[in-house]
Amino acid sequence: MNSALFSRRQMLKVGALGGLTLSQYMRLQASAKEPSQKRSGIFIFLEGGPSHQDTFDLKPDAPAEYRGEFKPIPTSVPGIQICEHLPELAKRMKDYAIIRGLSHTLADHGIGKKYMLTGNRPSQTLSYPEYGAVVSKVHPSARDLPSYVSIDESFVGPGYLGNEFSALTANKPTFGIPYSVRGISLEDGLTVEKYNSQKKLLDDLDTAFRGYENLDEQVRGLDRFGEQAHDIISSSTTRKAFDLSLEKTSESTRFGRHEFGQSLLLAARLIEAGVHFVTVRLRPAEFDFDTHLDNFSKLSALLP
């Protein structure tokens, strides 16, 4: 046997697989090395926290004194019922999953948000990264597209991963008003050619002073982030992805004309263009899900 082809450990693995033939084993090994298809995601965070027992977990079998006034309705998945004010989500139940095993004991909204946006209980000694920053590190994007975009300011940030994996922050779009992203849109009168010329001058200055600097990791992260920002500014692919005017009229109002609906439209465009992760936050200024007071009348208006 040629020891260059098979080590003793590999042969033991083959033997441990029992009924698998050698050819089957080799095929499995080859398929395991093939990169899995990268997925994209939109994380929608509803500020205030909708009441779970009045939306997706109505507990219809509980005594009346423990239930709210909303009635459950059947969904497209047998055995699962949700709130009567969510008929469209009820129709699409087969397309998503409800996670019922998540809870925490943090009473403060700010701390609770950090928990929900990172998946880790907040710590005083360690700054955890938000989901998009993790995706940005694990699945870097093409040079002319950001891996992670946060529509509206990010509440948490990249944490211990560093500035290199920060979100590209996009301001919320307003229906009927031409949209441009602060910081990556060319100012009036500034062409891509002029911008590239200015960028070259900046690079020359950076090179000249680089030998006098003792850069730490945080500053190097900012440099890498700046390089990506340059690629994004000069890319027609990115400009098209952020250009909501390219949407058909029928599609431009699909999610609503309010800022939240237009933000969802932008998120969908970015994912289609190749961005890996987008966070959309629904702020209380638009729709306040912090419904401690007048819960049922507020939810009756918010949920549909």
Cβ–Cβ < 8 Å for 75, 91: yes
Residue 42 has pLDDT above 90, yes or no: yes
The pLDDT score that the predictor gives to residue 35 is: 58
pLDDT value at position 25?
46
CB-CB neighbours of 227 under 10 Å? 14
Walk across the sheet containing 168-170 and list its strands. Answer: 41-46, 277-282, 148-151, 168-170
Q: 209 falls in which pLDDT band (50, 70, 90)?
A: low
Q: How confident is the model at residue 228 (pLDDT cuts 50, 70, 90)?
A: low
136/86 Cα distance (integer angstroms): 33
Phi-psi region at 79: left, alpha or beta (left = phi > 0; alpha = psi -120 to 50): left
User: How confident is the model at residue 101, as a pLDDT?
Assistant: 84
Sequence spans of domains, the chain: 1-34, 41-49+109-302
Q: How confident is the model at residue 14 (pLDDT cuts 50, 70, 90)?
A: very low
User: Which residue type occupies 82?
Assistant: I
Report the alpha-carbon distance of residue 49 to residue 282 in Å, rounded. Answer: 10
